[in-house]
């Protein structure tokens, strides 16, 4: 689920860069938050999957 959200945010961010259309800073903030959460999960390791 987390990876899906991250991929979607990266795609929206990339489309925004290519087309020049951005939804303000919201997409960039969400992208940074998603990357931080992924890094925390990778560093701590997944427990009990």
pLDDT tens per residue across span 19-47: 665 556 666 777 788 888 888 888 888 66
Q: What is the DSSP string of 1-49?
A: -HHHHHHHHHHHHHHHHHHS---TTHHHHHHHHHHHHHHHHHHH-----
| 29 in any annotated domain | yes
**Total domains in the fold of the chain:** 1
- The answer as to whether 47 is a domain residue is no
Q: Is residue 37 part of a domain?
A: yes
> For residue 49, is pLDDT > 60?
no
Within a domain: 31: yes
Please check whether residue 48 lies inside any domain of the structure.
no
Are 16 and 23 a contacting pair, CB within 8 Å? yes
Domain of 28 in residue numbering reads as 2-15+22-42
Look at residue 24 in the predicted model and tell me its pLDDT: 61
For residue 49, is it within any domain? no
The verdict on residue 8 lying in a domain is yes
């Amino acid at each position: 689920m987390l990876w899906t959200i991250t991929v979607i945010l990266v795609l929206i961010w990339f489309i925004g860069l290519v087309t020049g259309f951005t939804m303000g800073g919201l997409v960039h903030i969400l992208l940074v938050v998603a990357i931080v959460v992924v890094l925390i999960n990778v560093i701590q390791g997944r427990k009990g999957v």
